[in-house]
Amino acid sequence: MRLMILNCFKCEREITESVDAEINQPYGATTFMTYGHYGSTFYDEMSGRFLEINICDDCLNKALDKDLILEIHPAPRPPQPIAGRVLYNRELLDAQAEAHRKAWENYKYEDGQWEDDLLSE
């Protein structure tokens, strides 16, 4: 069964699909999904079901201009252990570790929050 492509949640503009698939894959919009939120009196689903909405690029740009969107720059994750039947390549692992070390150089932890030195330049 094909899902219908949802209209924009904000302006209700019709959105087209970006690929022929059985999922909500909009073109010119972004899909957001939520399992709810502890503080919500509207939706806090515990069974694994979720809500999904599309917001068109125009509405996202307008909201960004009005500072209604928060863009988060999380600290890089440490390298994940390789499991399963994967051959360990020491050179590759060393290169990944060095890349993560360099990525962490741009971040500092201050006053209980991570700060990105690159953003404050």
Residue 52 main-chain phi, psi, to 5 deg: -135, 135
Question: Residue 121 — very low, low, confident or very high, per pLDDT cuts 50/70/90?
Answer: very low
User: 73 or 58: whose pLDDT is higher?
Assistant: 58
Assign 54 a pLDDT band (cuts: 50, 70, 90): very high
Measured CA to CA, the distance from residue 108 to residue 12 in angstroms comes to 42
Cα torsion for 97, 102, 106, 112, to the nearest 10°? 30
pLDDT per residue as tens digits for the range 86-110: 555 667 777 777 877 777 666 666 6
Burial letters 75-111, b for 16+ CB under 10 A, else e: eeeeeeeeeeeeeeeeeeeeeeeeeeeeeeeebeeee
pLDDT value at position 22?
72
What percentage of the chain exceeds 70 in pLDDT? 71
pLDDT at 118 over 50: no
The span from the CA of 106 to the CA of 99, in Å, is 12
Question: Which pLDDT does position 15 carry in this prediction?
Answer: 92
What pLDDT, on the 0 to 100 scale, is given for residue 114? 61
Give the pLDDT band (50/70/90) at residue 29. very high
Radius of gyration of the chain (CA): 20
> How far is Cα of residue 13 from the mean position of the Cα atoms in its chain?
23
pTM, entire model: 0.56
Domain ranges of the chain: 16-65
Token readout for 14 is: 């019709």
